[in-house]
Structure 1
């Protein structure tokens, strides 16, 4: 897998690598040229000079006419005895370098005799070493400067992209009156990207607005028939000629109507732009909602042959949004009722939230995240739901900055825990 690197770092790395390659190639070329000159031109010069000594000086009985840095040796001429350090030199051009001295040697074998021309090159070697050091220093300096220059240029190049990312990431971009981004940028690749973001954000704004209007309109239109049904149930409930079974049916209709009314209110609040608008749902303590939901669901849970218990482990007096808290707790208790066939259900109140514990079938670990997505139901589905209950719980918690989690219990069952953010 290719490691993901920030764009700025990738530009700097590319800049440094390019400089490393170009500067390295240039440095190696300098070394190669110096070596070529040293081996070929010096070799040619020494060869011509040795031929002049042999053909003109020695042939005429004259001593070799050489400068102070160059000496002549021969294998069979006692006057020009070859020192041991030069005797093993190879045919042609070679170098001998020790700790204190350096020599060029040119050896020529003629008629069984070996002739040597030796030239001191200490000064040239020192200059060559200085040149190599300068090349290495220049190479290192060029890489360092390329890193500094690359970093400066990368920041200049990436700055529009960083600014564009910051603008797109800002939550106000989803506001209907948010201005377009593209006019702030030049007509280049970044400007084209900004135009694409403007187009996508515009479509997203329209989609969100349609969703808000639809949710608000539908919720508003449902209120009237729900109010009619609810008032009709209240009138039927006070009638004295209803049989117990009929009265029970009326109560179930009324509970369903109250639940639908609560969901309508929930959807209307979720359609608002910010969580601060949710204050319209009313404020209530955790204990008050728990008492209400225990009364509502406790009877149905016990009717199924299960045990129900509410445990208060120190619920605080902080007030939360009534509609949202009621919907979250109601959905979790309903979920526990549907998926529990034996044992019981517990509603536990804590200082930082609450949890619903059941002894039902549980949820496989790999499905924990999936269960909070829309239209996802457990493998052993219960009831006639569409798999929207836990999705709605997750959406409300995200809206209110609450945290919902689930874990399995041994030997069976689940625990849904909701951490409530204190109201500001």
Structure 2
């Protein structure tokens, strides 16, 4: 599992690890050096003491005693300095020697046929090494703690420009025309380069938003005229006295489709003009009114496909008013999506106190693809020729604009369930 840390934490961690590595290398070097130098000094000291022992007194009686932590032996000496059998196997020179549970340094010298041994207890040297090890360990821990403290202080100073830039970037006014240029506030360093890159990206984003806004306005203007012609023609045809019942039904369907297309254009325009703000309420309707209107539109296409359509109205009182064009677009796109991807079974629309559900028994959407379904130009089944993959993206945009929520879950054995939770207009933040 990846562990994610902030940049400041990573700087502190790297600073501490680097200090720990350097302090550890120095600690090991100090201990090794002291150990080697200590052994060398011990060897020189014992060699001098043994030499003085051999030259200071008459060699026959060996009455001169060595230092208090040293023991002197000779292979032909008196009883008190007589060499034991375990010492006779030692080779000439400096070495370590174990006698029982005690450890000794041993200096062995061969003079003619005689061998002399000087032993020194290692406990005093071991004690000094333990004290040194404790001092080095305490110094290592203190150096790491000091490195962490200095790392935090230095990281705060180093990260201050980055944190300030991040705060400015997160500010919502940065996407507006009045947002100031960021690069002027920073030095000619990496942070300044990042600020300049953001300024360039923001400039391109503003230009793209301007082109999109202009395109939306042009498209809406061009679409309104043919839609108005279609609506007017349908009205004139409906007044034609010789129109039979079948033709009249088809004209009514054309009229409803024209009205739906006009509402869709208005929805896109509304979303484009609000630019992330709450859309004006405009025409309002209750959830039941929108549902009944769409049932009248979609029941026939659904049943003509051989599907069973189920509608469950809201049992509680339904008097909350919502933005009618946006709610109609959300519910209509979900019903259209269910109709398009369902070949057998049923489609159901269920209202509740705070929203609605659209369920189907269609082909379903794999779990790994469900999150991407609300992105533009993503389709559930690429093999189906119809649709551009914009319906669910539009639903997501409208819900985000109105502070509604839409979720997608799978049904067993197949199919999808879209749940929309509506927030009352009076609770929308200003």
Identify whether the pair has TM-score above 0.5, normalized to the shorter chain: yes
Within 5 Å, give how 1:106-121 maps onto structure 2: 106-119=107-120
Name whichever of 145-154 and 399-408 sits farther off.
Answer: 399-408
CA distance in 1, matches of 2:10, 2:129: 37
Specify the alignment match of 2:319 in structure 1: 317
CA distance in 1, matches of 2:82, 2:315: 105
1:144 to 2:140 alignment:
no
Unaligned runs of at least 5 residues, structure 1: none
Aligned partner of residue 368 in structure 1, secondary structure: helix
1:404 to 2:409 alignment:
no
Name whichever of 42-51 and 91-100 sits farther off.
Answer: 91-100
TM-score normalised per structure 2: 0.85
Aligned partner of residue 5 in structure 2, secondary structure: coil
Specify the alignment match of 1:22 in structure 2: 22
Within 5 Å, give how 1:352-367 maps onto structure 2: 352-367=354-369
1:326 to 328, 349, 355: 328
Specify the alignment match of 1:163 in structure 2: 164
Aligned partner of residue 376 in structure 2, secondary structure: coil
Q: Cα offset for 1:12? A: 1.6
Q: Cα offset for 1:183? A: 2.1
Deviations 1:150-177 (A, max 9, x none): 1222222223223322322333322222
Contact in 2 for aligned 1:233/1:254 (Cα 8 Å): yes
Q: Quickly say closer, same or farther: Cα 1:13–1:413, change in 2 above 3 A.
A: closer
Q: Quickly say closer, same or farther: Cα 1:347–1:383, change in 2 above 3 A.
A: farther
CA distance in 2, matches of 1:333, 1:99: 93
Aligned partner of residue 278 in structure 1, secondary structure: coil
Specify the alignment match of 1:339 in structure 2: 341
Contact in 1 for aligned 2:277/2:401 (Cα 8 Å): no
CA distance in 2, matches of 1:71, 1:230: 121
Aligned length: 424
Specify the alignment match of 2:208 in structure 1: 207
Specify the alignment match of 1:41 in structure 2: 41
Contact in 1 for aligned 2:76/2:83 (Cα 8 Å): no
Contact in 2 for aligned 1:39/1:93 (Cα 8 Å): no
CA distance in 1, matches of 2:135, 2:89: 31
CA distance in 2, matches of 1:205, 1:101: 84
Specify the alignment match of 1:420 in structure 2: 422
CA distance in 1, matches of 2:322, 2:15: 56
1:188 to 2:172 alignment:
no
Q: Quickly say closer, same or farther: Cα 1:36–1:348, change in 2 above 3 A.
A: same
Contact in 1 for aligned 2:284/2:324 (Cα 8 Å): yes
1:393 to 2:392 alignment:
no
Contact in 1 for aligned 2:77/2:83 (Cα 8 Å): no
Q: Quickly say closer, same or farther: Cα 1:43–1:378, change in 2 above 3 A.
A: closer
Deviations 1:216-243 (A, max 9, x none): 3322342243223312322221221223
Deviations 1:389-417 (A, max 9, x none): 22222222233232223334344443222
Contact in 2 for aligned 1:89/1:107 (Cα 8 Å): no
CA distance in 2, matches of 1:99, 1:203: 85
The RMSD of aligned alpha carbons is 3.3
Specify the alignment match of 1:235 in structure 2: 236
Q: Quickly say closer, same or farther: Cα 1:363–1:85, change in 2 above 3 A.
A: same
CA distance in 2, matches of 1:85, 1:236: 131
CA distance in 2, matches of 1:384, 1:104: 94
TM-score normalised per structure 1: 0.87
Q: Quickly say closer, same or farther: Cα 1:67–1:345, change in 2 above 3 A.
A: closer
Unaligned runs of at least 5 residues, structure 2: none
